[in-house]
């Protein structure tokens, strides 16, 4: 958890029986920056563009946007509300907040497993970003020839040694940041650097849309063709909405447990979702016009960012300089997301096992290195191992994004809408009646009860070909 500690004067410590008093975030901006620090990452610059490319463009984007508002956002708000009320890790939060004996805490457990699965492939992709920093510096990827950039990417991922080294280096960096306790510093840095990354994306987007032949890319992004919307495409857009908002697994519940009592939760969540979605769309506008202009296949899959982005930089003034900054800032953005995932894991272990934070962090990092290797090696040594027809990389991605997050989201919505109690939800979201937002909260309750769960069940049944 990246957090800004408050001084006792700023915000009172939140005391909850049976749990350690928690330091709270200090300001509204601090909360927004911290939650965005987890949300913005590879999901925006890598996953959103490549999935849009493999899923046919505009139709996928439309379902993603609808999923953010109807599915992800209500679940995000619920997570924040439950987390702040319980002031505990997700598993204990459900134990405290559910009055019945029903095993709601299982949602927290699924979430912890989900974070492990996400990290297993996320650390590999972050490793690719890391590996591109020296390549940007030595100029080896500075070319407008997509065949060359593709070759460089393929040789990076098909070499088992480099694939493992970059992943483990990334994990070592995350482990160090957490055990040195400098994630607060990283968060402060993110606050400054994220706007620079956004500006850089705007610059790249402008270059991209002005390339000759770029309009086909804009058409791909914005001309609606619903024929591409098959059941798996819809499910993956739903999964992406949860993945992007870091919601459906308890990470955001942990963040909620650090929120000050006077924070307007729905307001913060809406701002967070809008900012996060805009950054994803911006990355799409930076990439797709160039994809079409450079003759790259839009459905290239996970390599898309790494093949395309260097060619855009190579076609603009001061391109190499901007490219170095781009990969450095992108790497820093991925750190925020990874730290939030690892800290969720470590905080959970810490409240359970009597071991120091350093030891638990080290154990988690080693376990992730061992397990994640299966994803790292899925384009080389383990290329032929395909459980359920998917490589380990794709399997971890599929299971975490398309199964654990939406299932977690479904149960969180059911809990908040039906089981937690209307009074508790209203108390948490209106700050005990001090905010003037009862209308909004009432509308949210209807969505949580009827819209989110029903849509999620339909999407699941549809993708299982039951309806």
Residues near 451 by beta carbon (within 8 Å), at least 6 away in sequence: 70, 74
The nearest distance, CB 386 to ligand PHE, in angstroms, is: 25
Residues 122-151 contacting ligand PHE, CB under 6 A? none
SS3 at position 430: coil
Residue 181 corresponds to which tokens in the numbers above?
């306790």
Sign of CA dihedral 111, 116, 120, 125: positive
Does 273 sit near ligand PHE (CB under 6 A)? no
**SS (HEC) of 75-134:** HHHHHHHHHHHHCCCHHHHHHHHCCCCCCCHHHHHHHHHHHHHHHHHHHHHHHHHHHHHH
Which pair of tokens denotes residue 388? Answer: 């359920």
Q: Which residue, 208 or 400, has its beta carbon nearer to ligand PHE?
A: 400
State in angstroms the smallest separation of the CB of 243 from ligand PHE. Answer: 5
CA-CA distance, 351 to 440, in Å (whole number)?
35
Place of tokens 């996970």: 302
Q: In terms of CB distance, is 11 or 251 closer to ligand PHE?
A: 251
Q: Cβ-closest residue to ligand PHE?
A: 43
Within positions 336 to 375, which residues make up the interface with ligand PHE, using CB under 6 A?
Answer: 337, 340-341
CA distance 60 to 398: 16
Give me the phi and psi of 14, to 5 degrees please. Answer: -90, 115
Q: Does 76 bind ligand PHE (CB under 6 A)?
A: no
User: Quick check: helix, strand or coil at residue 21?
Assistant: coil
Stretch that binds ligand PHE, among 132-140, 223-231, 241-249, 355-363 (CB under 6 A): 241-249
42/290 with CB nearer ligand PHE: 42
- In the complex with ligand PHE, the residue whose CB is nearer, 2 or 437, is 2
Contact predicate 280/333, CB 8 Å: no
Q: How far is the CB of 352 from ligand PHE (least distance, A)?
A: 20
We find the least distance from the C-beta atom of residue 119 to ligand PHE, in angstroms, to be 9
Nearer to ligand PHE, 156 or 341 (CB): 341
Decide if residue 90 touches ligand PHE (CB under 6 A). Answer: no
Tell me the closest approach of the beta carbon of residue 387 to ligand PHE, in angstroms. Answer: 23
246 belongs to the binding site for ligand PHE (CB under 6 A): yes
Size of site (CB under 6 A) for ligand PHE: 14
Q: Name which of 43 and 49 has its Cβ closer to ligand PHE.
A: 43
- For residue 344, the minimal CB distance to ligand PHE (Å) is 8
In the chain, what is the straight-line distance between the N-terminal and C-terminal CA atoms, in Å? Answer: 40
Q: How far, in Å, CA of 458 to CA of 456, rounded?
A: 5
What's the rounded Cα separation, in Å, for the pair 299 and 93? Answer: 41
Per CB under 6 A, 251 contacts ligand PHE: yes
What is d(CA 40, CA 279) in angstroms, rounded to the nearest whole number?
8
Closer residue to ligand PHE in complex, CB, 413/441: 413
- Which x/- pattern, by CB under 6 A, does the window 27-46 give for ligand PHE? -----------xx-xxxx--
Nearer to ligand PHE, 311 or 400 (CB): 400
Whole-number Å distance between alpha carbons of 350 and 179: 13
Minimum CB distance to ligand PHE smaller for 270 or for 382: 270
Q: Which is nearer to ligand PHE, 243 or 306 (CB)?
A: 243
The single residue among 118, 296, 312, 368 that binds ligand PHE, judged by CB under 6 A, is 118
Compute the least distance from the CB of residue 7 to ligand PHE, in Å: 28
Q: Which residues pair with 199 in a beta bridge?
A: none
**Of 343, 139, 164, 319, the residue nearest 253 (C-alpha):** 343
Nearer to ligand PHE, 39 or 425 (CB): 39
Instruction: In angstroms, give the least distance from the CB of 48 to ligand PHE.
Output: 8
Q: How many angstroms separate the CA atoms of 75 and 363, rounded?
A: 31
Please identify, among the stretches 96-104, 160-168, 333-341, 369-377, the one whose residues bind ligand PHE according to the rule CB under 6 A.
333-341
Taking CB under 6 A as the criterion, the residue among 25, 60, 168, 243 binding ligand PHE is: 243
For 137, half-sphere exposure in the C-beta direction (CA atoms, 13 angstrom radius) is: 6
Q: Shortest gap between Cβ of 146 and ligand PHE (angstroms)?
A: 25
> Which residue is associated with the tokens 């946007």?
65
Out of 80, 84, 96, 244, point to the residue binding ligand PHE (CB under 6 A). Answer: 244
Residue 80 or 244 having the CB closest to ligand PHE: 244
8 Å CB contact between 402 and 239: yes
Contact 307, 153 (CB under 8 A): yes
Binding interface with ligand PHE (CB under 6 A): 38-39, 41-44, 118, 243-244, 246, 251, 337, 340-341
């Amino acid at each position: 958890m990246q957090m800004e500690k408050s001084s006792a004067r700023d915000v009172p410590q939140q005391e909850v029986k049976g749990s350690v008093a928690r330091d709270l975030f200090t300001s509204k901006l601090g909360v927004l920056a911290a939650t965005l620090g987890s949300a913005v990452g590879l999901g925006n610059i890598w996953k959103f563009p490549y999935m849009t490319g493999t899923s046919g463009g505009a139709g996928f984007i439309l379902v993603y946007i609808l999923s953010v508002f109807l599915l992800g956002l209500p679940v995000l708000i619920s997570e924040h509300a439950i987390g702040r009320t319980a002031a505990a890790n997700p598993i204990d939060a459900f134990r405290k907040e559910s009055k019945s004996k029903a095993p709601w805490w299982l949602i927290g457990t699924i979430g912890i497993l989900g974070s492990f699965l996400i990290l297993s492939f996320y650390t590999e992709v972050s490793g690719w970003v890391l590996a591109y920093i020296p390549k940007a510096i030595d100029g080896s990827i500075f070319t407008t020839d997509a065949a060359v950039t593709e070759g460089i990417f393929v040789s990076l991922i098909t070499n088992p040694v480099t694939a493992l080294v970059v992943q483990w280096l990334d994990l070592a960096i995350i482990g160090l940041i957490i055990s040195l306790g400098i994630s607060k510093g990283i968060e402060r840095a993110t606050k400054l650097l994220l706007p620079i990354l956004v500006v850089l994306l705007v610059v790249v987007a402008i270059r991209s849309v002005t390339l000759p032949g770029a309009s086909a890319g804009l058409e791909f992004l914005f001309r609606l063709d619903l024929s591409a919307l098959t059941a798996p495409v819809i499910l993956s857009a739903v999964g992406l909405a949860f993945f992007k908002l870091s919601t459906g697994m308890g990470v955001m519940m942990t963040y909620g447990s650090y929120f000050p009592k006077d924070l307007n939760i729905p307001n913060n969540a809406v701002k967070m979702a809008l900012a996060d979605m805009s950054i994803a769309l911006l990355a799409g506008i930076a990439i797709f016009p160039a994809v079409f202009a450079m003759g790259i296949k839009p459905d290239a899959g996970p390599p898309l960012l790494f093949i395309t982005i260097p060619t855009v930089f190579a076609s603009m003034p001061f391109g190499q300089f901007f490219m170095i900054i781009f990969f450095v800032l992108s790497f820093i953005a991925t750190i925020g997301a990874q730290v939030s995932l690892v800290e969720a894991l470590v905080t959970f272990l810490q409240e359970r096992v009597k071991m120091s934070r350093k030891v638990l962090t080290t154990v988690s990092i080693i376990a992730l290195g061992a397990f994640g290797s299966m994803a790292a090696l899925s384009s080389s040594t383990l290329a032929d191992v395909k459980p359920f027809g998917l490589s380990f990389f794709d399997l971890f991605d599929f299971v975490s994004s398309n199964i654990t997050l939406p299932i977690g989201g479904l149960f969180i919505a059911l809990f908040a809408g039906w089981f937690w109690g209307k009074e508790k939800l209203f108390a948490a979201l209106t700050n005990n009646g001090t905010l003037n937002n009862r209308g909004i909260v009432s509308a949210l309750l209807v969505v949580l009860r009827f819209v989110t769960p029903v849509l999620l069940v339909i999407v699941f049944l549809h993708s299982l070909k039951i309806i």
